Amino acid sequence: MGYKTPIVVENLPSSSQLLDARQSVKSAITQLGNGMISMSNDDRRSSRGISEGREGYVDEILRVANEYEDILPRNIDIALVYTLFSHFKDLKQFLVLVEKLAEMVDDTVLGIGVELMHHVDIILKSLQVAREYNANLDRALAGIDNYNSRFGKRSDDTNTTNTSTDTPPVVE
């Protein structure tokens, strides 16, 4: 649907709440990190893992193998395989939560960025108009002109938001 209304700052988490949450995430990374696996891109490409929707396949094979454990190779510890599968399912559920959090944070950062750029565009237009009559302001804006020239774009060229002060920006 897209961003439709201005950000209500009072509804955003406070800086202390964000700091506490960040510390909790860091603590979880530290707590879980020692037991986690890190795979190279080559390892990821060359390894056969459980693809989406294949958990039922694995579960069914393990159910049958449990009934016919006596014909499995001796070096297969079925209890270990069940433990691995249990960890797999637990971590997949954990991954859903982490991805949900990442999406919420990403959307909030994007929304705040849209709101910020809306206000910055209005501010810059006002400053640009006033600089014609104020030499000090003109010098102060020289740094912004330099910044824009380094990136090859002027803010007027990149402004896609409604700069009316009465109407919030609409991004779809």
Other CB atoms within 10 A of residue 168 CB: 15
| pLDDT per residue as tens digits for the range 75-89 | 999 999 999 999 999
pLDDT at 164 over 60: no
Q: How far apart (Å, rounded) are the C-alpha atoms in residues 66 and 76?
A: 11
Q: How far apart (Å, rounded) are the C-alpha atoms in residues 88 and 63?
A: 16
Residue environment code for 102-134, b if the CB has 16+ CB neighbours within 10 A, otherwise e = eeeeeeeeebeebbebbeebbebeeebeebeee
Q: How far apart (Å, rounded) are the C-alpha atoms in residues 48 and 54?
A: 12
| pLDDT per residue as tens digits for the range 21-32 | 999 999 998 888
Q: What does each C-alpha distance from 23 to 20, 31, 102, 104, 140 come to in angstroms?
A: 5, 12, 15, 17, 39
Determine the average pLDDT of the residues in 35-62.
89
Q: Where are the beta strands (DSSP E) in the chain?
A: none
**Cα angle 45-50-53, degrees, rounded to a multiple of 5:** 125
